[in-house]
Structure 1
Amino acid sequence: MAAATRIGIPYYPRHSELEVMKEEEVDMIIEEVKDQLAELMTNQSRSYTIQRLFESCNQTQMSKILSFIATRQKLLDICFEEHGSRAVQKMIKHLEEPEQKRLLVSVLKPITLQLSKENGGHAYHVILQCMEQFLPEETECMPYTTLQIRERIVAVIMANALPLSDHPFGNYVVQYVVKMRIPYANANIIAKLRGHFVSLCMNKYASNVVEKCIDPNDVGDENSRRVMTEIFETSDFIRVLQDPYGNYVMQAALNVCKAFEE
């Protein structure tokens, strides 16, 4: 196999070789790359190979890999890079053990807001991937440990619902939580946004969140009515109607009102 690379890896396999590797060979590669794993994950020419390595790992090996990058600063540095974000998303898909998930979320929780608001638009995908992989909608079938993981991520998003809603990428994270249809989470998000719905309607990014918050299928009839009441009773009603983003929210709200009347 190849010797040195331009970033100093002494032993590195080709993609096709990863597909047929034995467990001990994968162990050897992990040992070789452990000190440079973060750098490799963000490297344009090596990130894909690292992702293929994840596919060859068993869960013991995945635990080792996770331990090498499970610090706040390392994950921030990796996730802020396009190729690093993709590699972390791939890694998340291959984490199956509850302890792995707990470790990752314990590191991600304090930096969830930073990742969600990262201006490059790469890091928020990691949060979405966590919610998709770790937070199944079938809560009645969910193990208690998975419920705890879900609650830790959702708690951060609920607490920061307002600054996330009008952010170019953070708004997607809020929308994702609303669409999960967790009653306590949606009630909390709406409470955080209360008093701001009119201005949010006229924001390019937050208007999408408002549309989710008036959809009774996502937030329930009572919450939907509360949000629409705030919008309809504002003295800025005409301004919202004339706003290019607010107009779409108003159309959605009128459709909901029509459905309530039927």
Structure 2
Amino acid sequence: MNEDSAHRINRSVSAQISPASLNKYAPKITRPTPEIPKYQCCNLLSVSLWESITGEKTTPARISQIIDTFLPQPPGTVVGSPFYSQQSSQYVKMAKDRQDCIMLQEQIDHATPAERDTIFNVLYPHMGDLVCDGAANFLIQKLCEYLNEEQQTRMLAFFMEDVQRIVDHPNGCRVLQKFIESTTSPSNIDPIFLALLPRFVELCSSQNGNHIAQRFIIKIPQRVPDIINKIKTHVYDLVVDNWGCRVIQQLFDRLPIQELIPLVDEVLCRAETLATNQFGNYVVQNILNSGTPEHIQALIDAFTGHFYEFSMHKFASNVIEKCIRKANPQQQNMIFTEIIGPEGNYNRPRIKEMVSDQFGNYVIQRIIEFGTESQQNIIYLVTYDNYNFLFKCSYAKHVISCLTNLGYEF
């Protein structure tokens, strides 16, 4: 057989025996399709699709992380397992990211109790770090709104480990405040209160701690006598303090004045000084609002000789206005006489000055409101005689309007 014939035979065999025809003689091998657990899903979202849906630019790895975090954990996952550790790491990382933290907060609001339990359990070992983090503290605050009794007990144990550090930290303090507001049992607050009681005065004067002190007043009112006993020798220092003043005011807002007599007595002793203080004047006004007639008389006595001076003062003018409103007619007439002079000998230059003063004009309006007809008339005459000057003064316009409403014409 020559080479040409051999080549023709090979081509003929190749043409007749194709791979398809050989397959029917091959043994059939059935390969089982592996079952993929529900939690091992492929990420089929492209970066461009993610961006078009969310408007957020990110990476494929980041998309996978977010999706994995929001998938339900596999059944039977236990603390300490590789999956649990991985999920814990992802939640912690997301909690510290501002955008992801917002996403997790929304998830908590719409989650089932079991899902919230999962989030709490994976975050709890990292709580010391998270409560002080600039982003994560908001997530922990959100969790505090949904804690069950067992979780509240665990959070209390966490706080008690280092409550001083947490109170002194601006973010940690917010978390503790939210816990106190949200807990369902006063027994979860009392240990914190007792731990902080030795430094309660310092707590009241703290930019962060004063919020905790105020929450104690609101949530465990049975402890108010202990609070009063602790701060009664420091009332003046707290009243003139930006933060301490808020705690004192919270006490006046929440309790009848009869329960605050030790504090009231301390304020009355320094009322003249406190009336002109930018913070203390509010506490003096608290006493005028809720005080007894004896308290009001004590304040009027303290201010006697200073009514005109205080009427022109930025802070004290508010106190004098409140004093006029709370005084009886006899006390009011005494105050007005000191400010603008007695009938028949009114101090016209003083009236003119007060009408055009940014603070004094408010006290003049109160004299018009509560004063006698004679006192109203003298204010009108002084204003009328100086109308061309006073009309150009923005503060005097309040007095002119007040007189016009009573029927006086200019």
- Structure 1 Cα separation of the partners of residues 308 and 95 of structure 2: 63
Q: Does 1:246 align with 2:336?
A: no
Cα RMSD, aligned residues only = 3.1
User: 2:135 is matched with which residue?
Assistant: 45
Which amino acid is the alignment partner of residue 182 of structure 2?
Answer: H
CA separation of 1:200 and 1:8: change in aligned 2, threshold 3 A: closer
User: 1:228 is matched with which residue?
Assistant: 300
The Cα shift of 1:39 comes to: 3.1
User: 2:214 is matched with which residue?
Assistant: 128
Q: Does 1:185 align with 2:259?
A: yes
The 5 A counterparts of 1:13-52 are: 14-19=104-109, 20-22=111-113, 26=117, 33-34=123-124, 36-52=126-142
User: 1:103 is matched with which residue?
Assistant: 191
User: 1:66 is matched with which residue?
Assistant: 156
The 5 A counterparts of 1:81-96 are: 81-96=169-184
CA separation of 1:32 and 1:182: change in aligned 2, threshold 3 A: same
- Higher mean alpha-carbon deviation, 245-254 vs 15-24, is at 15-24
Q: Does 1:201 align with 2:275?
A: yes
> 3-state SS of the aligned residue for 2:134?
coil
CA separation of 1:179 and 1:220: change in aligned 2, threshold 3 A: farther
- Structure 1 Cα separation of the partners of residues 171 and 262 of structure 2: 34
Which amino acid is the alignment partner of residue 221 of structure 1?
Answer: P
CA separation of 1:181 and 1:168: change in aligned 2, threshold 3 A: same
CA separation of 1:213 and 1:183: change in aligned 2, threshold 3 A: closer
Is the contact made by 2:108 and 2:116 (CA closer than 8 Å) also made in structure 1?
no
- Higher mean alpha-carbon deviation, 84-93 vs 31-40, is at 31-40
Q: Does 1:170 align with 2:260?
A: no
- Structure 2 Cα separation of the partners of residues 154 and 39 of structure 1: 34
Partner deviation per Cα, 1:101-156 (whole Å, 9 max, x = no partner)? 221221232232222212xx333122222322333xxxxxxxxxxx2x23223433
- Structure 2 Cα separation of the partners of residues 183 and 248 of structure 1: 21
The Cα shift of 1:196 comes to: 1.0
Which amino acid is the alignment partner of residue 127 of structure 1?
Answer: A
Is the contact made by 2:177 and 2:215 (CA closer than 8 Å) also made in structure 1?
yes
Which amino acid is the alignment partner of residue 85 of structure 1?
Answer: C
- Structure 1 Cα separation of the partners of residues 192 and 234 of structure 2: 20
> 3-state SS of the aligned residue for 2:154?
helix
- Structure 2 Cα separation of the partners of residues 195 and 97 of structure 1: 39
The Cα shift of 1:246 comes to: 1.3
- Structure 2 Cα separation of the partners of residues 101 and 8 of structure 1: 26
- Structure 1 Cα separation of the partners of residues 297 and 150 of structure 2: 50
Partner deviation per Cα, 1:17-75 (whole Å, 9 max, x = no partner)? 5343545972x65565455424322211101111122123112210210111125xx33
Which amino acid is the alignment partner of residue 318 of structure 2?
Answer: Y
Which amino acid is the alignment partner of residue 180 of structure 1?
Answer: R
The Cα shift of 1:191 comes to: 1.4
CA separation of 1:251 and 1:125: change in aligned 2, threshold 3 A: same
- Structure 2 Cα separation of the partners of residues 208 and 33 of structure 1: 43
- Structure 2 Cα separation of the partners of residues 16 and 248 of structure 1: 45
Which amino acid is the alignment partner of residue 146 of structure 2?
Answer: S
Which amino acid is the alignment partner of residue 178 of structure 2?
Answer: K
Is the contact made by 1:165 and 1:209 (CA closer than 8 Å) also made in structure 2?
yes
User: 1:143 is matched with which residue?
Assistant: none
- Higher mean alpha-carbon deviation, 61-70 vs 12-21, is at 12-21
TM-score normalised by the chain length of structure 2: 0.51
TM-score normalised by the chain length of structure 1: 0.77
Q: Name the count of aligned residue pairs.
A: 239
Specify which structure has the bigger relative contact order, considering alpha-carbon pairs within 8 angstroms and separated by 6 or more residues: 1
* Unaligned 5+ runs, structure 1: 136-146
* Unaligned 5+ runs, structure 2: 1-68, 70-86, 332-369, 371-410
- Structure 2 Cα separation of the partners of residues 243 and 88 of structure 1: 40
Give the alignment partner of residue 326 of structure 2, picking from 247, 256, 261.
Answer: 256
Identity of aligned residues (%): 15
> 3-state SS of the aligned residue for 2:296?
helix
Is the contact made by 1:186 and 1:219 (CA closer than 8 Å) also made in structure 2?
no
- Structure 1 Cα separation of the partners of residues 296 and 330 of structure 2: 11
